[in-house]
Amino acid sequence: MSIFRRSRGAARSRPGDRTSIASTIGAGQIVAAVAGLVIASVVLLAYQFVSLRNASTNEARVQAGIIADNVTASLMFGDREAAADMLRPLHFATDLMSATVYDSAGQRFVSYVPGGQAQPVQDLAGTIRVEAPVDYRGRKIGRVELTMKMTSLRVGLLRYAVFLALTIAGALAIVMPIVRRTRSRVARAERELDYLAYTDPVTALPNRRATYLRLEHELALPDARLALLLLDLDNFKVVNDTLGHSAGDELLRKVAAALRDAVGDAGVVGRIGGDEFAIILAPLARRGAALEVAEAVAASLRVPFPLEQGEVFASASIGMCVYPDDVAGSTELLSSADTALYAAKNGGRNRVVDFRPEMTFATQRRARLERELRKALEAQALCVYYQPQFDCSGRQIIGVEALVRWPHPEHGFVSPAEFIPIAEETGMIVELGRWVLQRACHDVAGWLRAGMPELSLAVNVSARQLREPGFIDDVTRALADSALPAEILELELTESLLMENVDAAIEFMQQIRAAGIRLSIDDFGTGYSSLSYLQSFPINQLKIDRSFVQLLPQQGETIARAIISLGRGFGLTVLAEGVEDQAQLEWLRAAGCDYVQGFLLGKPMPAADILARFAADSRSSAAA
Ligand code: C2E
Ligand code: CA
Ligand code: CA
């Protein structure tokens, strides 16, 4: 499988191309080896030439010496004929060109030429010329000169060269098949290494490295236009944790196959992390086409996947970014697709989100808030406001809801609607919630000591806090530390939180109730509690969500009335939140709602203001 399948023009090679080892084995090395052998052969031939030439020269010297001895007498007596006879046996000397005897005056005395004809003297390199003096009793009476051809030397040299060539050829004949076999083995090993280095072993998809290389490759093509989809499975962790890793792997394989089918020829799919996949759609003609593929991909995962242990659902969150429409480079492309993915997860998962530039600002702000919130929490820079809750006459404070506040040095008060979700996601909510609980318990205990009549203190609790094993201990410790009676405290839970795991929620609620603490359901009507569950929840109060109250009195009456009678039926009190005008209050009182809370009667305020407000209320009721 090649992830670099698509190419335009010369861009076929893999990015970051490295030469394969196999390709370097073979031709080059054989050429080098042959060159080495040839050089060695030339050296050997030269050596051989020199040795043969020396041997021939020595042989000629010996011959010249013998002739010199034999012609001594003839030279002394000036007997040319006898000298010529002495030279005659030289016709056996194959390489001889001429033999000449000179007298003491340097005059030619006698000479012998094979065949009787003088041959033209060849170039110096082609002949050997030697001399031997003719001595008589220590006196030089002449000299003998022999000129030899080098024919036998050449033949010998040629034979030697042929022998060397045959040796080289033989060596090559042995080596070539070995080289060829090694080359194919190395090539195979390289292919296997390549596969391992670029392939995810579980899904057989291109791995992170391969996917990013492919992305770089696509971006480097002329007129590149592509969409990057980052995909994160929504429930993979649950499958892995509850059904085990082999089920997790099986799911990943099935998901990979589904993704490949959904993407088809439009692009490539890679696995870039545990449950993260990347899809590169290139070349891309229209943005719409990328969105269509993304939606098809999302749809292909919205089906149950049959695993050995049973069926599981694996929806995915998908972030999409288009180059060069949205971003200028690969780093930005990845981070923007990631931002879009984050938005998809935050927007409730199981969806495709197309990147928009505003998201970057939102992500940056979020990241900054996260950092600053952590610091604020450490520095105890948060504070708690209290919103009073009234009976339906609107005159009597019956309790307060603790609402956390973050006075930010630059942005003023940051809304809990913005920072509570950050705290929940990062887990900071556990510490934050614990702190709010302690602060609120202390404040209210202080009010009671200051003479305020008993009221209830409602504290909001997040899902994440409930999952914390030590949560109930935190609550009882806050009560004990502040010496606040348990029946003052009321915890506000949301429906969705309780429905996440009904059995665990019921058990938890029973423990809370056993500690004497009351429970109310916040934002009632916006979640999806089924009435049958409501019956089994050990709760004390329902809070009608502000969105219903706001519609009153003209609209929303049916729902508000239904919630009030539901509360009645289950023996629960009902509190309406977000009451902003008198007409709403009138309607709620007439409908039999127990308590109200809202800007009409009191906004969230600092602890000191609550005390002042209470003092003013008790003065006015005393005056009345
Ligand atoms: P919530 O629990 O539903 O709190 C009520 C919200 O409605 C508060 O917003 C309050 O200021 C606002 N509100 C009260 N009366 C009115 C009204 O008449 N009109 C309008 N328009 N708004 C009204 P706030 O304080 O911004 O809190 C927002 C949310 O943040 C809360 O919603 C709650 O879910 C969360 N929250 C606040 N404090 C904490 C906390 O200490 N712990 C946790 N876990 N969540 C908190
Ligand atoms: Ca609340
Ligand atoms: Ca609420």
Could you read off the pLDDT of 492-551 as tens digits, one per residue?
998 877 777 788 888 889 999 999 999 999 988 776 656 777 788 899 999 999 999 999
- pLDDT digits over 360-413, tens only? 888 888 889 999 999 999 999 999 999 999 999 878 899 999 999 999 988 899
Q: Percentage of the chain with pLDDT > 90? A: 58
Give the per-residue pLDDT at 239.
83
Give the per-residue pLDDT at 528.
61
**Ligand of minimum distance to the alpha carbon of 544:** 3
Mean pLDDT is highest, among 5-14, 340-349, 371-380, for 371-380
> Looking at the predicted structure, is the pLDDT value of residue 15 above 50?
no
- pLDDT digits over 577-586, tens only? 999 999 999 9
How many angstroms separate the alpha carbon of residue 400 from the centre of ligand 1? Answer: 12
Give the per-residue pLDDT at 420.
93
- pLDDT digits over 116-141, tens only? 765 555 555 678 899 999 999 889 99
| Banded pLDDT at 604 (limits 50, 70, 90) | very high
pTM for the whole structure: 0.60
- pLDDT digits over 293-343, tens only? 999 999 999 988 999 888 888 889 999 999 999 999 999 999 999 999 988
The residue ranges of DSSP E strands in 234-275, in sequence order, are: 267-271
How many angstroms separate the alpha carbon of residue 470 from the centre of ligand 3? Answer: 25
- pLDDT digits over 273-306, tens only? 999 999 999 999 999 999 999 999 999 999 889 9
Tally DSSP H helices, then E strands, for the chain: 21, 21
Cβ of 413 closer than 6 Å to ligand 1, yes or no, is no
Cβ of 596 closer than 6 Å to ligand 1, yes or no, is no
How many angstroms separate the alpha carbon of residue 545 from the centre of ligand 3? Answer: 6
**Ligand of minimum distance to the alpha carbon of 605:** 1
> Looking at the predicted structure, is the pLDDT value of residue 3 above 80?
no
Cβ of 319 closer than 6 Å to ligand 1, yes or no, is no
d(CA 62, CA 65): 5
Cβ of 404 closer than 6 Å to ligand 1, yes or no, is yes
Q: What is the H or E stretch that residue 136 is in? A: strand 127-136
Number of CB atoms found within 10 A of residue 307's CB: 19
Cβ of 602 closer than 6 Å to ligand 1, yes or no, is no
> Looking at the predicted structure, is the pLDDT value of residue 474 above 50?
yes
| Banded pLDDT at 258 (limits 50, 70, 90) | very high
How many angstroms separate the alpha carbon of residue 436 from the centre of ligand 1? Answer: 14
Cβ of 387 closer than 6 Å to ligand 1, yes or no, is yes
Nearby residues of 119 by Cβ (< 8 Å), 6 or more positions away: 97, 98, 113
Q: Which of 570, 488, 482 is nearest to 533 (CA)?
A: 570
- pLDDT digits over 27-65, tens only? 777 788 888 888 998 999 999 999 988 988 998 899 899
> What's the whole-number average pLDDT of the chain?
89
Mapping DSSP to helix (H, G, I), strand (E, B) and coil, where does residue 121 land? Answer: coil
Cβ of 416 closer than 6 Å to ligand 1, yes or no, is yes
Nearby residues of 273 by Cβ (< 8 Å), 6 or more positions away: 208
How many angstroms separate the alpha carbon of residue 238 from the centre of ligand 2? Answer: 29
Q: What is the 3-state secondary structure (H, E, C) of 344-365?
A: HHHCCCCCEEECCHHHHHHHHH
Cβ of 460 closer than 6 Å to ligand 1, yes or no, is yes
Give the per-residue pLDDT at 182.
87
**Ligand of minimum distance to the alpha carbon of 490:** 2
**Ligand of minimum distance to the alpha carbon of 527:** 3
Cβ of 578 closer than 6 Å to ligand 1, yes or no, is yes
Cβ of 436 closer than 6 Å to ligand 1, yes or no, is yes
Q: Candidates 384, 403, 462, 595: which one to mutate for ligand 1, based on the most atoms within 8 Å of Cβ?
A: 403
Assess whether the previous peptide bond of 485 is cis (omega < 30° from 0): no
Between 520 and 616, the higher pLDDT residue? 520
Query: Which DSSP string corresponds to 53-105?
Result: HHHHHHHHHHHHHHHHHHHHHHHHHT-HHHHHHHHGGGGG-TTEEEEEEEETT
Residue nearest to atom 15 of ligand 1 (CA): 598
Mean pLDDT is highest, among 7-16, 67-76, 160-169, 600-609, for 600-609
Bridge partners (DSSP) of residue 312 are 305
How many angstroms separate the alpha carbon of residue 600 from the centre of ligand 1? Answer: 15
How many angstroms separate the alpha carbon of residue 401 from the centre of ligand 2? Answer: 7
Give the per-residue pLDDT at 210.
96
How many angstroms separate the alpha carbon of residue 547 from the centre of ligand 3? Answer: 10
Bridge partners (DSSP) of residue 406 are 414
Q: Indicate the DSSP class of residue 594.
A: -
Give the per-residue pLDDT at 18.
56
Cβ of 77 closer than 6 Å to ligand 1, yes or no, is no
- pLDDT digits over 594-603, tens only? 999 999 999 9
